[in-house]
Amino acid sequence: MTREDLMLNERLKKIESLRKKGVEPYPYSYSVSHNIGEIIEKNKDLKPEAKTNQKVKVAGRILSIRQFGKINFCPIADSTGSIQLVFEESNCKDLGDFLKFFDTGDFIGVEGIVFKTKRGELSILVKNFQMLSKALKPLPEKWHGLQDKELRYRQRYIDLIINPKIKETFVLRGKIIKMIKEFLDSRGFIEVDTPILQPIYGGAAARPFTTTLNDLKMKIYLRISNELYLKRLLVGGFDKVYEFAKDFRNEGIDRTHNPEFLMVEIYQAYSDYNDMMKLCEETIEYTAKKVLGKTEIEYQGTKINLKAPWQRITMYDAIKKYAKIDVTKMNEKELRAKAEELKIKDASKLSRGLLIAEIFKETCEKNLVQPTFVTDFPKETSPLCKAHRKNPDLIERFEPYINGWEIGNAYSELNDPQFQKKLLEEQAKLLRAGDEEANPYDEDFVNAIEHGMPPTGGLGIGIDRIVMLFTNSESIRDVILFPFMKQNI
């Protein structure tokens, strides 16, 4: 029998013994008077060896138990912090039951007096206690914990117990989302919800996850984007909308990609991509000030200033600057040769515009560390964007970059129904020809904009990457509570 099996059997025996004594180890509730954070804040100026008259009832998880003669020390934690419990034989008549039945990992409720030890540690002198939940499995040893990152991601519930700083990342994530919403709400935007399950996917170049709606015997998709539904709302009379949307893309998993991720998509009538650039930089700057109290952050040793206005550079100028080539003077054969030299996948199958976009990714992205808008993409890179007003070979699209990462995407949205129909029909042909990232033809979306869609600026921002930057996290898995993991077989 393994050590783990022995410990499990021992804890099961304790549960049985408790029930024989008439004690339920899993009661329904416990009346808490204070959380630990409140106690710490209220008594932060308490002097060593000082005892208060403050009676408290608190609850939390036992982190360890240390016995010194007739005194036992037991730190516990709730969602707001940790505090030491002190059990003295003279003050706690049932101390023996505590020692017999409680283990690390158990949840306990206690009633007692707040005081500070000689060493200055804020504590609760326990008078009464109650078992609230008996844990069957022990926590990892304090000094070893969960060092295996894969195991930490798989067992996030243990990671959060053993590594309290991890929780701070997700508290900050919630604040980031809250502040973005606050900023958009203050600008008159309305938060909306659109379908996650879609009969026709679209709005991005990505391969979807497919499933079946059994009742209708119908193939459906997890959304890769909510763009086409939000544009329908612009047709319907909304002027400013946004949605925090979980999107799902059946593609690679790496340090900055997870198949399920969070975006905020924002659409504003009577605007273009220039307006969206201003909105983007102001949104991030506002959020940084509110959440971090500053606009300069440090990511993995590099200082990054999020203060608006951000740098702007066209895609062609970025290639000229970082790759030292002028794509405007290169024919398709020369571009393909350059792409093959850079070992770009499927270079032989790419059109001129897509070759330029791939050359940009390979040679420029890593250099865009400070916040930068890369503007004016080749027209082949999106079927949902307006042509550039000065160059019909380009579209009015930008991507914001920070730390060499693309953190968003934005357009002057295409609202010419005839041209939109033509482009989506071309996408459907590519899809039928085997391009898994091409969009299917969405007849209802075309029908919607045939009823008239106002000039519109659209912007999507990747929340997970913003959280990575704000929390100095190395991997997207560090900022998603339950990232997707390969199953252990």
The pLDDT tens digits for 71-124 are 899 999 999 999 999 999 888 877 888 888 999 999 999 999 999 999 999 999
Chain Cα centroid distance, residue 166: 13
| Per-residue pLDDT at 53 | 92
Is residue 329 in a domain? no
Give the chain's domain count: 2
- Residues 84 and 173 both lie in one domain: no
In a shared domain, residues 130 and 212: no
Classify residue 458: in a domain, yes or no: yes
Q: How confident is the model at residue 4 (pLDDT cuts 50, 70, 90)?
A: confident
Residues 174 and 50 in one domain: no
Domain with 17, as residue range(s), is 3-139
**pLDDT at residue 422, rounded to an integer:** 94
pLDDT digits (tens, 9 = 90+) for 264-319: 999 999 999 999 999 999 999 999 999 999 999 999 999 999 999 999 999 999 99
**Residues 376, 306 share a domain:** yes
User: Looking at the predicted structure, is the pLDDT value of residue 257 above 90?
Assistant: yes
Q: What confidence category does residue 146 fall into, taking pLDDT thresholds of 50, 70 and 90?
A: low
Residues in the chain: 489
The per-residue pLDDT for range 162-208, each reduced to its tens digit, is 888 899 999 999 999 999 999 999 999 999 999 999 999 999 989 99
- Check: CB of residue 55 under 8 Å from CB of residue 111: yes
pLDDT the model gives residue 340: 95
127 and 253, same domain (yes or no): no
Express each pLDDT in 332-371 by its tens digit: 999 999 999 999 998 998 999 999 999 999 999 999 999 9
CATH code assigned at 22: 2.40.50.140
Which CATH number does the domain housing residue 279 bear? 3.30.930.10
Whether 275 and 422 map to the same domain: the answer is yes
Could you tell me the pTM of the whole model?
Answer: 0.92
- Whether residue 263 lies inside any domain: the answer is yes
pLDDT band at 70 (very low <50, low <70, confident <90, very high): confident
Residue type, 485: M
Does some domain include residue 489? no
Residue 143: what pLDDT?
Answer: 42
Assign 3-class secondary structure to the chain: CCHHHHHHHHHHHHHHHHHHCCCCCCCCCCCCCCCHHHHHHHCCCCCCCCEEEEEEEEEEEECCCEEECCEEEEEEEECCEEEEEEEECCCCCCHHHHHHHCCCCCEEEEEEEEEECCCCCEEEEEEEEEEEECCCCCCCCCCCCCCCHHHHHHCHHHHHHHCHHHHHHHHHHHHHHHHHHHHHHHCCCEECCCCCEECCCCCCCCCCCEEEEHHHCEEEEECCCCHHHHHHHHHHCCCEEEEEEEEECCCCCECCECCEEEEEEEEEECCCHHHHHHHHHHHHHHHHHHHHCCCEEEECCEEEECCCCCEEEEHHHHHHHHCCCCHHHCCHHHHHHHHHHCCCCCHHHCCHHHHHHHHHHHHCHHHCCCCEEEEEEEHHHCCCECECCCCCCEEEEEEEEECCEECEEEEEECCCHHHHHHHHHHHHHHHHCCCCCCCCCCHHHHHHHHCCCCCEEEEEEEHHHHHHHHHCCCCHHHCCCCCCCCCCC
> Do both 106 and 252 map to the same domain?
no
The answer on 369 and 258 residing in a single domain is yes
* Average of per-residue pLDDT across 30-50: 95
pLDDT of residue 62: 96
In a domain, 347, yes or no: no
For the chain, report the end-to-end CA distance as a whole number of angstroms: 23
Average confidence score pLDDT of the chain: 94
pLDDT (0 to 100) of residue 489:
56
Question: 258: burial class by Cβ within 10 Å (0-12, 13-18, 19+)?
Answer: buried
**Of 80, 108, 139, the domain-final residue:** 139
Does the pLDDT of residue 142 top 70, yes or no? no
In a domain, 155, yes or no: no
Closest among 489, 315, 272, 292 to 401, alpha carbons compared: 315
289 and 192 belong to one structural domain: yes
Give the per-residue pLDDT at 147: 61
Please check whether residues 120 and 168 belong to one and the same domain: no
Domain shared by 80 and 178, yes or no = no
Which pLDDT value is given to residue 350?
93
- 153 occurs within a structural domain: no
Q: What pLDDT, on a 0 to 100 scale, did the predictor assign at position 359?
A: 97
In this structure, is residue 301 part of a structural domain?
A: yes
pLDDT at position 481 over 70: yes
| Whether residue 398 sits in one domain with residue 249 | yes
Mean pLDDT on 424-430 = 92
